[in-house]
Amino acid sequence: MLLKLLDLFFTGLHLAIIGFNLFGWLWPRFRKLHFLLVLATAASWLLLGLWFGLGYCPITDWQWQVKTKLGERNLPNSFIKYYADYLTGRDFSPALVDTWTAILFGIAALLSVYFNFIHPKLKRTPV
């Protein structure tokens, strides 16, 4: 029972982080927090990725440990691939999922930089 609750918790946490990474820049009051989460995500994927593999996510690691104890096997490297497969019943190519994940994350990161650092200066510049 506890393992199933942990699995649900990690799924919710994953979905919240992914959603906020993609759309947190939309709300002015959350833009600084969004930028920090984007930095933390990039650091996990790239810096921790130096030791654990590119795209490493500790939350995925912990959730996969739980899922393994629940009897799941052959888990992909990516929570996004796992969940896309789960929701659609398809078996998406890991490369395709990783590519779209990087593209959408990159767009969200650029929007975060724009709204946190460029847009405020444009608003202050007299016309």
pLDDT digits (tens, 9 = 90+) for 11-54: 999 999 999 999 999 999 999 999 999 999 999 999 999 999 99
Q: Residue 68: which residues within 8 A CB-CB, separation 6 or more?
A: 75
Q: Which of 96, 104, 113 is nearest to 36 (CA)?
A: 113
Rounded Cα–Cα distance for residues 66 and 80 (Å) = 17
Tokens of residue 25, six digits = 């820049």
Output the pLDDT for position 123. Answer: 72
Residue 125: which pLDDT band, with cuts at 50, 70 and 90?
low
- Rounded to a whole number, what is the largest CA-CA distance in the chain? 63
How confident is the model at residue 122, as a pLDDT?
81
In this predicted structure, what is the pLDDT of residue 121? 82
Q: How far apart are CA 90 and CA 94, in angstroms?
A: 12
53-109 pLDDT, tens digit per residue, is: 999 999 999 999 999 999 999 999 999 999 999 999 999 999 999 999 999 999 999
What predicted TM-score, i.e. pTM, was given to this entire model? Answer: 0.91
